[in-house]
A and B are shown apart, each in its own frame.
Chain A
Amino acid sequence: MMDNLYMPYLMRIERITYEAPGVKTFMLKFVNEADQDKFSYKAGQFGEYSVYGVGESTFCIASPPTRKGYIECTFRQTGKVTNALSGCEEGNIIGFRGPYGNVFPIDEWKGKNLLFIAGGIALPPMRCVIWNALDLRDNFKDVTIIYGARTVKDLVYKDELKDWELRKDVKLVTTVDPGGESPDWRGEIGFVPTIVEKIAPSSKDTIAIVCGPPVMIKFTFPVLAKLGFTDESIYTTLENRMKCGFGKCGRCNVGKVFVCKDGPVFTLAQLKELPDEY
């Protein structure tokens, strides 16, 4: 029996959540139970989600591997495939290929403090590892989440943000860009790097996981360096244009590193070795 690498699993859209303008979350269940039983993944991995007849798009798996029976993805309506996905309804069948890529080495972080920093639509790639950590809460010391978006409307996972805020074992700081606040906004106001500097989390025994638009990342790394974080203790995920997802189509490489195989999870130390091609 030939194993066709390009064959997606058939997935049924169980639930659609409207997160923010243009941003939706799909909860997907495997149409074939046998596929569900065989399937496993780790936080950090991604997949190729397809609308048959339109094409495929690359998103991370946004739900943690600790929750069985379904996977979730969150995407923003941007191009051909995400527009088609946006037009799907609960009950529709789409395709999913994966899991691909490397993982957050969450086992190596046992006993450490975790600092999650995310901006805008980049919370989804982190959500899987945040929930993974929270589902194994005892393995870690302090958990801090700093999350910002342009405006209040643009914050994703609004219900989960409320959950995290109420939890006593999580420190959550949310912020919006200056001018993005609503009259009843009680969180911080300021760009994410500024807020990180303000909160000044300790770098001692702490792993930082950062994900966001390029401009946010560019200004956050120096703040972390000032706080004493080493390049090996900062993790991020990269994205790049992909087609196959498993290192053959030749598209996603940054120098000799393939984002789909050697990534998408990289430490800052690894990122600094990469040529300026992403």
Chain B
Amino acid sequence: MNIDKRLVRKDSLEKLFDILKQNSKTIYAPSSKNGKISFNVAESFSGIVTEYVQTSQSSKDIAFPRTEKILDYSKNKEGMSVKGTDLKNLPEVILWGVRPCDASGIGELSAIFNWDYKDEIYNDRLSRVTVFGFSCNKSDEYCFCTSVGGNPGNTAGSDILFTRLGENGDYLAEILTEKGSLVVSMSPDLFGKAENIDKEKFLAEVPVRFNHEEIRVKLDKFFESKEWIEQSLRCLGCGACAYVCPTCACFDVQDEAHGKSGSRVRCWDSCGLSHFTLHTSGHNPREVQSQRWRQRIMHKFSYMPERLSVYGCTGCGRCSRACPVDMNILEHLISIQEVTL
């Protein structure tokens, strides 16, 4: 299939930003706060951070917000009135500056939210998002996208993938979907002709560190291994890894009451937290941290590939960077690969 390739001059990006804003698009782009980079609404092009290997948080909250109302209720004389969340007035969003690992991670989230039952709240939100992926010119020791079937110039999940052609260079723009074409039609002058540009030579080097299929097969027999206890001894059981991860979608459902009315919300949760599987009776199938650590790895690298046909990890490395006690997932996976059963 021939991809529509265009050349976007370096200065054109700011012009593109302005045109999109004029067309009432809300642009979410990386911005810095307290030295960490997250996706926030960008009011101006100058506020967008560009020199980073990876953001601290993923952009998953664009379609899967950390707290989201799913219904409102109110008790009145006649009884109860319940209304589902209103998604009619969501803004059209441009997700600007996601890395290929994050863009491809949208596939995992969509697989979970459409497994047999279609979660229309998620689908509706996602349908209003246009993804501008930006290929990686640099990587660091935490990255391992190539070990899980990705690569620094991966087009999966992006509507337009921009690749910077060298330091201070112009951009190759690959127009991958109809949403991408729509953007081009808003600003055709900014998308010039691209001659034979080979983006590969501008991409970061990310060596393959493990064989994910080998690991998946091994994990089938790994449930009772003592390795889980060894690996998780320093894990403190917080939710940092799950919350910064682009593909973690575990959630809680909570009611928030204010007198006679209130709402039900869906909010992020983490399988690493000690009360995640706690029964009201007091019984907890995952009582100790090693069982919860095992669940994280097994879910991503064994259960999801088998049940949903997608890998539960895109190799972005955020969990390892964010972890306060250096539970480096790459290191742990390599060690699983090396252990003899």
Answer yes or no: A and B touching, Cβ < 8 Å: yes
Chain B residues positioned under 8 Å from A8 (CB to CB): 82
Q: Are B253 and A249 in contact (CB under 8 A)?
A: yes
> Does B73 contact A53, Cβ atoms closer than 8 Å?
yes
| Count, chain A residues at interface, CB 8 A | 39
Given contact pairs A4-B70, A246-B117, A275-B223, A251 touches B276 in the complex (Cβ within 8 A): yes
Number of A-B contacts (CB under 8 A): 124
Nearest CB on B from A198, distance (A): 29
Interface string of B20-51 (1 = CB under 8 A from A): 00000000000000000000000000000000
Residue among B115, B224, B271, B280 with the highest chain A CB neighbour number at 10 A: B280
Interface string of B193-204 (1 = CB under 8 A from A): 000000000000
- Tell whether A56 pairs with B253 under 8 Å between CB atoms, given A6-B266, A249-B269, A278-B285: yes
Shortest Cβ distance from A82 into B: residue: B280
Q: What distance in Å separates the Cβ of A196 from its nearest Cβ neighbour in chain B?
A: 24
B236 adjacent to chain A (CB < 8 Å):
no
A93 contacts B79, C-beta separation under 8 Å: yes
Flag whether A254 is at the interface (Cβ < 8 A): yes
What does the 1/0 interface line of A49-64 toward B look like (CB < 8 Å)?
0101111100000000
Nearest residue (CB) in A for B278 is A241
Q: Which chain A residues border B252 with CB–CB below 8 Å?
A: 243, 249
Which chain A positions have C-beta within 8 A of B75? 52
B113 within 8 A of A: yes
| Interface status of B67 (Cβ within 8 A of chain A) | no
| CB-defined contacts of A79 to chain B, threshold 8 Å | 280
Give the chain B neighbours of A50 by CB distance below 8 A.
255, 264
Interface residue B17 (Cβ < 8 Å from any Cβ of A): no
**What is the CA–CA distance of A242 and B13 in the complex, to the nearest angstrom?**
46
Are the CB atoms of A251 and B277 closer together than 8 Å? yes
Q: Are A277 and B299 in contact (CB under 8 A)?
A: no
B120: interface (CB < 8 Å): yes
- Shortest CB distance B137–A (Å): 34
Q: Taking A93-B80, A248-B112, A256-B302 as contacts, is the C-beta distance between A4 and B255 under 8 angstroms?
A: no
Contacts of B224 in A (CB 8 A): 275
B302 touches A54 (CB 8 A): no
| Distance A251 CA – B253 CA, assembled complex (angstroms) | 11
Which residues of chain A come closer than 8 Å to B70, judged between CB atoms? 4, 6-7
Q: Which of B243-271 contact A (CB under 8 A)?
A: 249-257, 262, 264, 266, 269, 271
Contact present for A52 and B85 (CB under 8 Å): no
Contact in complex: A254, B271 (CB < 8 Å): no
Query: If A248-B115, A249-B251 touch, does A52 touch B73 (CB 8 Å cutoff)?
Result: yes
Residues of B within 8 A of A21 (CB): none
Task: State the CA gap A40–B43 with chains docked (Å).
Answer: 51
Q: A3-B120, A4-B84, A53-B257 are in contact. Are A256 and B285 (CB under 8 A)?
A: no
Q: Which 9 A-B pairs have the closest CB atoms?
A: A53-B257, A250-B250, A79-B280, A4-B84, A256-B303, A93-B80, A6-B70, A52-B73, A246-B117
Binding site for A on B (CB under 8 A): 70-71, 73, 75, 79-80, 82, 84-85, 87, 112-113, 115-121, 124, 223-224, 249-257, 262, 264, 266, 269, 271, 276-281, 285-286, 291, 295, 298-299, 302-303, 306-307
Can you add 11 more A-B contacts, CB < 8 Å, to A5-B118, A240-B279, A248-B251? A6-B70, A53-B257, A53-B262, A249-B251, A250-B271, A251-B269, A251-B277, A253-B295, A255-B223, A277-B285, A277-B286
